[in-house]
Amino acid sequence: MADPAYLAADGTLTDGAAWVALASESPSAAAAIEWDMRAWTGTKAPSQYVNLVVVMAAQDGVTSQATGEISLKINDDGSNSNYDLLLFSGDGGGSFASTRPAASRIVAEVPAYHNTAKKFGGAVMWFHDINSAKYKTVLIRVAADRDGAGVVQSRLITWTKTEPIERLRFGATELNIAAGSQFDLYGLLPRMVTR
Amino acid sequence: MAAIEAIDSFYVQNAVSYITFTVPTGYQHLQLVASMRDTETGNWGTLDKVFNSQTSGGYSHNFMYWYGTYEARGSDVGQGEARSYGMAVNDRNPWIPQQIYGATVIDIPDYAHTTKNTTWKYHGGNGMGVSIDNTATNVTAWGAWAAIGGGTFDNAASQPHSGLTTIKLRGDSGQLERGFEVTLYGLKSS
């Protein structure tokens, strides 16, 4: 685990790594991914980070369809009406934009286990200014190819709540993210000392 | 040695016209990460970057953008600043809550070169009024906007380039709003 090490042994501020690896999950069986950061202390305490980044390579564990979706709950909020989405999606045949109010918590369209056990979708998600009193903005880029099918997407999600982000939960169809999926969480520090 | 370091951060307490980063040497690439809103009027806003105080033209930019169910592309040619779309603007109150800020991640690769044009690429946007967009007939009026773009600074008057030493950030008009937050990160090579 990287250590931001912005407190020297004598207690003075210094600067260390700006990106701190906070958590890593790769389920061995279909499961949801959940990080409850409220109990994290020290260099893992979320209150010290300005942004969070999640890097994901995931597959939906659903077996009845070729593609699936990864969904997000912030602070255990599962109400779609509290999330606004700007989606831009493209595949080999065209592109479209949408707000999809009934699916505003979806962070990525990904291949499903039914399609092939080897195809996973990738995404990088930026959670901005997580401790502010602003509504929280999540910028996401998705790549989920399936040998020429599949999609590339941009998603901008606004969670219309002002509280700090303290919990993240990722699920999939029937709540099953496939085994072998990978989720990594990073905390981004601001400049900690005056230059 | 950390691969990514925070060079400097700003958190605006009172509205300001601009922020200037002094860019040190010692990194290979730069990344700006911002949460942004300004006081301007209009349906959309940009986070503008001025490299090395040069505003006499030479900044060109291509981008794709979308809101609601509308998607399009555009370009800016020969401008006086490096634009990145997605700034939240202020003039649609009370329909647009004060809690809405745009977000962006801007990469500036190989910033210290002396022979290449300076390039930038970004992904940004804001969700202002997306809920309202669902029923509005003119979605552009509400300001929700997301974009992917990038460009090049090619100012013949300043050739050869001497590397990027300062970055001035501002909105395309108005002031950077209280709560505007930005960090400049430096990425090291091996």
CATH code, domain carrying B133 = 2.60.120
Task: Provide φ and ψ at B104, rounded to 5°.
Answer: -150, 150
What is the count of structural domains for chain A? 1
The range of the structural domain enclosing residue A63 comes to 22-188
Average pLDDT, chain B: 87
Residues 3-62 of B with CB under 8 A from A: 3-9, 11, 22, 33, 35
User: pLDDT, tens digit, for every residue of B66-115?
Assistant: 988 889 999 999 999 999 999 998 766 555 678 999 999 999 999 988 88
Taking contacts as CB-CB distances below 8 angstroms, the residues of chain A near B103 are 126, 128-129, 137-139, 156
Taking contacts as CB-CB distances below 8 angstroms, the residues of chain A near B2 are 16-19
Q: Is residue A151 part of a domain?
A: yes
The range of the structural domain enclosing residue B44 comes to 4-187
Instruction: List the single best residue of B27, B96, B105 to mutate versus A (max A Cβ within 10 A).
Output: B105
Yes or no, beta carbons of A191 and B179 under 8 Å apart: no
Strongest mean pLDDT among A91-95, B42-46, B180-184: B180-184
Contact at 8 Å (CB) between A122 and A56? yes
- Based on the number of CB atoms within 10 Å of its own CB, is B129 exposed (0-12), middle (13-18) or buried (19 or more)? buried
Q: What is the pLDDT of residue B135?
A: 47
B99 Cα to chain A: minimum distance (Å):
4
Q: What is the pTM of this model?
A: 0.93
Q: Is residue A74 part of a domain?
A: yes
ipTM above 0.90, yes or no: yes
CATH code, domain carrying A69 = 2.60.120
Taking contacts as CB-CB distances below 8 angstroms, the residues of chain A near B145 are 86
What is the count of structural domains for chain B? 1
Yes or no, beta carbons of B71 and A133 under 8 Å apart: no
Taking contacts as CB-CB distances below 8 angstroms, the residues of chain B near A158 are 100, 126-127, 130
